[in-house]
Amino acid sequence: MRRPRKATVITTVLATIGGIGAVAGLAVAGVLATAPAALALDNGLALTPPMGSNNWNTTQCRSTFNETMIRGIADTFVSAGLKDAGYQYINLDDCWAETSRDSSGHLVPSRTRFPSGIKALADYVHGKGLKLGIYTSAGTHTCNVAGFPGALNHEQTDANTFASWDVDYLKYDNCNNQGVDAVTRYTKMRDALKNTGRPIVYSICEWGKNQPWNWGPSVGNLWRTSGDISDNWSRMVGRIHANDTHASAAGPGHWNDPDMLEVGNGGMSATEYRTHFSMWAIMAAPLLIGSDIRNASATTLSILTNSDVIAVDQDPLGRQGTILAHSGSTYVYRKPLANGDVLVALFNETSSPATITTTAAAAGLSADAGPGAGTGRITYADGTTQQFALSVPDWYSNPPSGSDPAITMTYRNRSGNTQQAHAINVFLVKVPLQEGKTPSGVTLPDVSSTVTSGVPAMHVFGIAIGD
């Protein structure tokens, strides 16, 4: 009789972490740190960082931003697997409106860009199982020089308009704010949105000017932590460091926002875009695609739909990764995950290869507790029993050699992952039977409870009774 038994399983998870030069990523099982308390905006939305798209980084105010584009993006979300990957919101940025309100003071969609209106667009997007977002500013006008009307002192009217169009997300910018206190302005729109009764994700975009990480959690679902990203490495890295110091403010329903993605816009290499995407995931940042996904290359799509990286971003624990260590321009980030694993990312922001090291202990993980052991039992047909010992050697500290394990192999932690390999030790235990007796059952010991987690290895037992 041979019964394979998984005696000790130490889970390992890995995200793909790219970068310039030597950049690697790994994750090992371990303990969770205590989550900081934060007062959440109680609208029940964005329990994981919002995923979707926004046209700004690719079109800005150009005429290519129009309803044909937005409908095409909705179509592509479905046809290219982005919806299945978790992308949901299709957000309009600045320049969607006419420059004047109508005679009753309501915002009017641009007659040339959106001749069918925003409600029709929302219907189309909803018909695809997706959601629609819109934009305005907490000022007299939005940011674009054309002078589109802003919502300052029109908060309830505009919130009602958005709700009447079945809009699901509002990005609320900071231009032309007339020096009115930011918390007052952003809170007013929060309340206006709430009054509509429609669930609308509320994205605060005041560029980190008024420490929104201090008040944002009770006002909005996300808040920008810095000025605008642009499609180059140094500006992107700047967004990371303006964002990574505010991790304690982030959590389900309230996120730091280092700005929209540039992946696919052409200004960075594929490796740099991979790093950009992975670092956004480690920071539990909103994943808003900023390139024209209708024309995305296979590389762009593969980065944006990398399910391992998205799973890190969308981890339900909602912890933003923090810097564990850094030396010059190399960083080690640590992000606890809901299943108890801790993701550790190594990030080299320079253009030269670098060696970055860390340890399980540095990441707050328990070291190997050494071997585990237990007692099993064979039951014979005559009712008598026979005990036998089963033990897990300390393979973590002393890797197996020779004939001890039946097989030692390496494996990749998750599909598609090319970064790491850990040992699986498979071995066979032989238990001699008592002479002339017929066994009727075998009870295996639970060795797993005696081996502490934190060991990046998997032990699989085969047991041969009576061979």
Footprint of ligand GLA on 369-398 (CB under 6 A): none
8 Å CB contact between 202 and 168? no
CB of 4 to ligand GLA, least distance (A): 55
Give the bridge partners for 387, in sequence order.
Answer: 377
Q: Is 158 in the active site?
A: no
Whichever of 93 and 292 has its CB closer to ligand GLA, that residue is 93
Residue 93 contacts ligand GLA per CB under 6 A: yes
Specify the residue, 54 or 419, whose C-beta has the smaller distance to ligand GLA: 54
Q: Is 366 helix (H, G, I), strand (E, B) or coil?
A: coil
Options 67, 94, 292, 349; binder of ligand GLA; rule CB under 6 A? 94
Residues in binding contact with ligand GLA, number by CB under 6 A: 10
Contact status: 56 vs ligand GLA (CB under 6 A): yes
Candidates 217, 223, 216, 172; CA nearest to 193 is 172
Q: Which of 94, 158, 168, 173 is catalytic?
A: 173
Nearer to ligand GLA, 93 or 244 (CB): 93
- Helix axis angle, 155-164 relative to 182-196, nearest 10°? 40
Which of residues 122 and 143 has its CB atom nearest to ligand GLA in the complex?
143
Using CB under 6 A as the binding rule, the residues of this chain from 216 to 235 that contact ligand GLA are 228
Tokens 């206006």 -> residue = 192
What x/- string results for residues 183 through 212 when contact with ligand GLA is judged by CB under 6 A?
----------------------x-x-----
- Indicate the residue among 15 and 132 with the shorter CB distance to ligand GLA: 132
C-alpha 374: how far from chain center: 40
Report how far residue 150's alpha carbon sits from residue 172's, in angstroms, rounded to the nearest whole number.
9
DSSP 68-110: HHHHHHHHHHHHTTHHHHT--EEE--SS-B-SS--TTS---B-
Q: Using an 8 Å Cβ cutoff, are 377 and 443 in contact?
A: yes
Q: Tell me the C-alpha distance between 287 and 86, whole Å.
A: 10
By CB under 6 A, residue 236 contacts ligand GLA = no
**Longest distance between any two alpha carbons in the chain, whole Å:** 101
404 catalytic residue (yes or no): no
Least distance in angstroms from the C-beta of 124 to ligand GLA:
23
Q: Which residues bind ligand GLA (CB under 6 A)?
A: 56, 93-94, 142-144, 173, 205, 207, 228
Instruction: List the catalytic residues.
Output: 173, 228
